[in-house]
Amino acid sequence: MSSSDLARLIFPEFRFGRTDPEEARRLVELGVGGFCFYGGTAQEVHETSRALKAVSRTPLLIASDYENGAGQWVAGATELPSNMAIGASGCEALARRKGEITALEARALGVDWVLAPVVDLASVPDNPIVNVRAFGRDRQLVARLAGACLSGIGSQGALSCLKHFPGHGATATDSHLALPVLEKDLPGLEQDDLRPFAELARADSVMAGHLVARALDEGAPASLSKAALSGLLRGRLKYGGLVVTDALNMKAVSADPGAGVRAFLAGADALLCPEDPFALHAALARAFNDGAIGGAAVALALGRQALLARKLSPFLSCPRPSDVLRCQEHLAFCAEAAPACLAWAANPDFAFSEGQIVGYFEPLTPASEWKGTAFVEELTKLGVRVEPYQPGCGMRLAAGIFSRPRAFSGSINLSAQEKAALEGALKGAGPSVVVAFGSPFVLGGLEHRPAAGLCAFCALEDFQKAAARVLLRRAKAAGTVPVTIGR
């Protein structure tokens, strides 16, 4: 067993604008199995992938978190609707097409491995890291649409990944900041959270989450737990594909200097984004020399990596970035999908009329910084006179709320100050609608309820325009909210 064999277990982070390309080259010379890319322009991503692969002695797998298309991270690529927007449509064809477009653009950029889809269940409104990344709350809906997305990703030559095993939905802690604890018993996990993983075992990989599932292991997070990975995932669920950790630089596990070694011993085949890849390589070498890591286990993990690399070989002739990135066909998908994805949370009979004066409002946000400019412009185009909302005069109100998961933020829904500002606006308004261009859970728990609530589940320009058309009855919101919002 060579030093480079151990290095192939490691997949460091490459963050454009921060990572030193020379250090990345040294990691390739060390023998790492690949990288996880974050950010960059289309040209930067394409050229960096090509340069790193050219100097690697073994097939180098480039991964990225393109959950909502490559445009989620890459300037010049197409950003796609959130999973929850697709979940609201309930449409497998849309889910599959999302997977196809994501894979096509990823491969054109030189990215082989799409770390998607998310199969967590959106069962806890205060969960700060799942939310609209999930297709919905219902396990059957999630499994059905995630399966269609998997098929789309695979059909266009990219690798897929289910995440975050054993299910991150029923937690309320951001694992980027702390270690979440899942209190469900095993029957509860098997009935709900584990079902998508069990039904979609054909996925190329499964990502182990940094969360403690008490039913599986009282102390260790699933990503470091032999009971979770070797016992449940490999044993009980019979999963034979590659297991990758969630990013090891997340604070849920980053304080543990032995986390990478523990993850491998638990059953992980790929160690994602350690804080110090060179230090992790040294730790793996010590564990191997001490006999804690066996050669057979390393060979098995590398064999799973090699299988994924072989699956890519029929698709080595990748499309050119200029042919597929933000092409008309991909951009048209967002516009065509929007009406099917929008959903009323309350009062579907609500509407504005041409010629009406409507006040637009985003909590604690001046007009110069509005995120809903496309929504406002479309309302204006359709004949509504839109002005900044003035409280206390009975003005009709359209409030745009842009709340979505952000890694390392620790929160998802409105802050106390934002909620107070929204409540104050609603209290003094005439007929009002709150449009959720992100988390639908912002509509829950309001003391002063709006006359209507409309969910777009994402802030894409086409979805903002569609929301405006729905409010003028120029389009129908055909979706169904796939979560329980509550009061």
**Would you name the residues annotated as active-site residues?**
176, 246
The string of DSSP codes covering 409-426 is ----S--HHHHHHHHHHH
| Residue 395 CB partners (closer than 8 Å, separation 6+) | 357, 358, 359, 387, 389, 429, 430
Residues linked to residue 36 through DSSP beta bridges, in sequence order: 13, 63
Sheet holding 357-361, edge to edge: 343-346, 452-455, 432-436, 396-401, 357-361, 385-388
**Contact (CB, 8 A) for 348 and 479:** no
Comparing CA positions, the residue from 317, 271, 300 lying closest to residue 35 is 271
Helix (H), strand (E) at residue 436: strand 432-436
Residue type for 449, please?
R
Instruction: Say whether 261 sits in a helix, a strand or coil.
Output: helix
Q: How far, in whole angstroms, is CA 40 from its chain's centroid?
A: 18
Q: How far, in whole angstroms, is CA 304 from its chain's centroid?
A: 24
**CA atoms of 216 and 191, how far apart (whole Å):** 15
Instruction: Say whether 120 sits in a helix, a strand or coil.
Output: coil
End-to-end CA distance of the chain: 59
Kindly report the backbone phi and psi dihedral angles of residue 245, in degrees, each rounded to the nearest multiple of 5, phi listed first.
-75, 155
Q: Which pair of structure tokens corresponds to residue 439?
A: 């988390």
Kindly report the backbone phi and psi dihedral angles of residue 208, in degrees, each rounded to the nearest multiple of 5, phi listed first.
-85, 125
Comparing CA positions, the residue from 86, 107, 108 lying closest to residue 97 is 86
Residue type for 296, please?
A
**CA atoms of 96 and 112, how far apart (whole Å):** 18
Alpha helices, DSSP H only, in 237-381?
259-266, 277-289, 295-312, 321-324, 328-341, 373-381
Q: Burial level of 264, CB count in 10 A (0-12/13-18/19+)?
A: buried
**Distance of CA 138 to CAs 51, 86, 87, 312, 409, Å?**
43, 13, 10, 33, 26
